[in-house]
Amino acid sequence: MSIDRRGFLQRSGMAAAGLGAGMAATPPAAAAMIQAAPTRKIKITGYRTMVLDNIEPFIGHRKWLFLQLETDVGIVGLGERVSGGVLELGSQVSLLHEMCDSVVVGKSPFDIERIWQDLYSNPHDYRHPGLSRTPAMSAIDMACWDIVGKATGQPIYNLLGGQFHERLRAYAYLDTAGVWENPALAGERAAELVERGMTVCKLDPFQPITGGPRDYSLKTINHVARIFRAMRDAVGDELEIGIGTHGQFSTSGAIRVASLLEEFNPYFFEEPVSPENVDEMARVAAMTTIPIATGERLVTKFEFAEVLGKQAAGIIQLDVGQCGGILESKKIASMSEAHYAMIAPHMYCGPIAASAAVQLDTCSPNFLVQEFNTNDLHSEIFVDPITIENGFITPPTGPGLGVELNEAVVRRQLSD
């Protein structure tokens, strides 16, 4: 399906409007209307979708798909459908349009639960989580919350229990260029991270990172151990180190890897086996002292309930942009809290979904650490970007998602 660049700026039949209408926080006229009639039920009246080209390095995928929900009081809410690495986004855009037309337009943005349930159940009582529909639901949920926050003058985290964390610990990826050939480089790079103020990092030492399940040779595992040893020798306990994998191990292979790397006290072992078989992940968790982390490919509370109930993981890496949105993420975080599990949200997305994760982190008592995987465009696209300083994120204090799109940058990056 070919995509007309201007087609993303408005759906068919909508009145023409400038791009800037969706860029700012609550317009003064809208604020006056809300103040004058606080009980007036705000309605969603339309929507826009925009596809943007990312810049190199293409962190968070090459294409970003943004959603703007418009209201009858002039407030515009921002959302993002995480593209998942797809380059031709026509089907994703069409699904968002169909969902908005059939369920969202005409509703109050405050009715987030009802909208979510209607989207989840339709068409024909669908009620089946999946990475095709659920990320679109996440985008709509984010945009609704952004509207509600702007209408009430509050950041989203204040509407979900209030600010629990003043700062959010974040982790970075270790630069692994040349590390396999020279493990000593890992120690040098770890020391550089500590100098930057980082206290947590992750690396993906087992290649290839997709496919499987497979076993790795003892020679390969011992070589990875040399990389970890170089890091521990260089920084001691000043830096937590996570084992990043993508479910490419067999169950027995994952247990073997864990047993040989336990001496380095890894922060977590991410997705040691694929998430389809939770029982096998639980077997790995029962055989190691390394905390098991999973969740980036899981969606809705229902899939996470099985992981928690079977004690398959103690660190939940939910992806706010994929699992069902902010409200669903808060439910998953609360379920995790009841199992004494921590959340470490996944972040490989565009900037709007990233800002939604920050809102969740801020109000979640069991927040552990936030992946912060960004490039320059993640900052340039906002008037006041979310940044990391000395290893910590300071939550924004503005209403809604707390971010405002930079109109000039958006126009520059619009995809042809």
Residues belonging to the active site = 246, 346
Q: What token pair was written down for 193?
A: 């991270």
CB distance 293 to 269 below 8 Å: yes
Query: Token pair of 288, please?
Result: 């190691």
| Torsions phi, psi for 38 (to 5 deg) | -65, -20
- Rounded Cα distance between 239 and 190, Å, is 8
Tokens 């699904």, residue? Answer: 95
Buried/exposed code over 198-209 (b: 16+ C-beta within 10 A; e: otherwise): bbbbbbbbbeee
SS3 205: coil
Q: How far apart are CA 319 and CA 33, in angstroms?
A: 35
SS3 at position 65: strand
Tokens of 147: 């509207």
Burial class (CB in 10 A: 0-12, 13-18, 19+), 4: exposed
> Measured between alpha carbons, how far is 253 from 259 in angstroms, rounded to an integer?
10
Helix (H) or strand (E) run with residue 361 in it: helix 351-362
Q: What values do phi and psi take at 64, rounded to 5?
A: -120, 135
Chain centroid to Cα 369, Å, comes to 13
Q: How far is CA 181 from CA 151, 243, 361, in A?
A: 55, 19, 37
